[in-house]
Structure 1
Amino acid sequence: MARLIYSAIASLDGYIEDETGSFDWAAPDAEVLAFVNELERPIGTYLYGRRMYETMRFWETADVDTLDPGSRDFTGIWRQADKIVYSRTLRKPSTAQTQIVREFDAAAVRQLKETSAYDITVGGAELAGQAMAAGLVDECHLFLNPVIVGNGKSALPDEVQVKLELLDERRFHGGVVFLRYAVMN
């Protein structure tokens, strides 16, 4: 059975974007990106909300010849994976291996976990919150950046309580800290 993993890059005060919608402070350096790529390599499917999908679809058309080695590696990983986008407004996908689904369906995600040979990630705090509330998330991977942004979009969902068990941690030279938690259902 595949694991469903929520992964987020956040500020130290827990935001994935600041109050203006910016997240330029979250760009991983080469060391962090190499680590992220190793975590992403076994992923077979990405679950996205519309906004996260619109951010991530950059990797579909990125000119790999102009990218640094870590970004080039990530591009290949991302392009090989399937994508499921939950959106009521998108009519058709603009990336390969992508399907649009109108509503989040916990039973369908549970079925995907049971039948998938590869792990699955859920991208975006709102969608992750729905998956957590449904008891579907197995792990949380948080990359905390050494910056406080003061306000913005929270990395973790409101009104969802789950117990976590710390499985791993890692400190990077640039001050980023990785925390890996198991969700205790």
Structure 2
Amino acid sequence: MRKIVLQMMTTLNGRLDDPLAWMGTVVDDQYRAIDRLYAGYDTVLVGRTTYEEMVGYWPAALEDKENGETNRVMARRMHDYRKIVFSRSATQAISAWHNAERAVVPDEAALRRYLTELKAEPGADIHLSGGASLAQTVIGLGLVDRYHFFVYPVVSAGEPWFKWLGEKTELQLIGTERYDNGVVGLHYEAMRGAKAGRPKSFSDLIA
């Protein structure tokens, strides 16, 4: 079965909104690591607002001869991916883009059904992109199988990733990297069914 993968930039305190307020540069070794992960996807899940931001950048980047090789490869990936744009209603149209489609999911139950069926289809893994509301909802539904965070060495007040998480979710560390700009890549797999009980005291935590 395909995996839903959340791959995002964030801060030390887990901020997800307004990246221009806290995000630093994306250096070459970090961008190459991001691209290697993107090579494993064939579908992107995205909210309408974030989708329109993507349409405003990636189609032109595909034709821009001034861009570096990694950015051109990424633009080609974005062009080729199946892009599923989620909204609660179909009242607002989305801009045309190659391989993009609208998914109307009026509530969380409909979203859960849609994504469960999507994961059962043949294909590569599925990238859960922004916006914040969509990402937080899918996390809260327990449907994210893998997390790739690129953590910038900064703290910044804002909306956190896991604010709406209903219960503790156990994650298994599957990899780490450090990049030339001080960003750290943290990679986790969700551990299904691993629900450790609350310890009675700190002494219970000592192996």
Counting aligned pairs with the same residue, the percent is 25
Letter in 2 for 1:60: P
- Which one has a bigger Cα radius of gyration? 2
Match of 1:84 in 2: 84
Matches of 1:136 and 1:83, distance apart in 2: 18
1:134/1:25 CA distance change after superposition, 3 Å: closer
Please tell me whether residue 75 in structure 1 is matched to residue 82 in structure 2: no
Partner AA of 2:148 in structure 1: H
User: Where in structure 2 are the equivalents of 1:110-121 lying within 5 Å?
Assistant: 110-121=116-127
Find the aligned partners of 1:157 and 1:47 in 2 and give their Cα distance.
20
Are 1:93 and 1:100, in contact at CA under 8 Å, matched by a contact in 2? no
If the length of structure 2 is used for normalisation, what is the TM-score? Answer: 0.79
C-alpha contact 1:137 1:183 (8 A) present in aligned 2 = yes
Structure 1 residue corresponding to 2:44, chosen from 41, 46, 49: 46
Structure 1: distance between partners of 2:163 and 2:83 = 22
Map 1:1-185 to 2 at 5 A.
Answer: 1-18=1-18, 22-23=20-21, 25-57=23-55, 58-62=57-61, 63-87=63-87, 88=89, 89-103=91-105, 105-124=111-130, 125-149=132-156, 151-161=157-167, 162-185=169-192
The answer to whether the 8 Å contact 1:168/1:180 transfers is: yes
Separation (CA, whole Å) in 2 of partners of 1:157 and 1:116: 32
Q: Aligned partners of 2:34 and 2:51: how far apart in 1?
A: 18
TM-aligned CA distance change 1:160 to 1:23, over 3 Å: farther
Over aligned residue pairs, what C-alpha RMSD do you find?
1.9
What TM-score, normalized to structure 1?
A: 0.88
Deviation at 1:167, TM superposition (A): 1.1
SS where residue 65 of structure 2 aligns? helix
Report deviation, 1:23.
Answer: 4.8
Q: Which runs of 5+ in 1 are unaligned?
A: none
Tell me the CA shift for residue 78 of structure 1.
1.2
**1:70 partner amino acid:** T
Any unmatched runs of 5+ in structure 2?
A: 193-207
Shift of 1:27: 4.3
Greater strand share, 1 or 2?
1
String of CA shifts for 1:156-179, please: whole Å, max 9, x gaps.
Answer: 342333221111111112111011
**How many residues are paired up?**
182
Q: Residues 52 and 94 of structure 2 are in contact (CA less than 8 Å); yes or no, is this contact kept in structure 1?
A: no
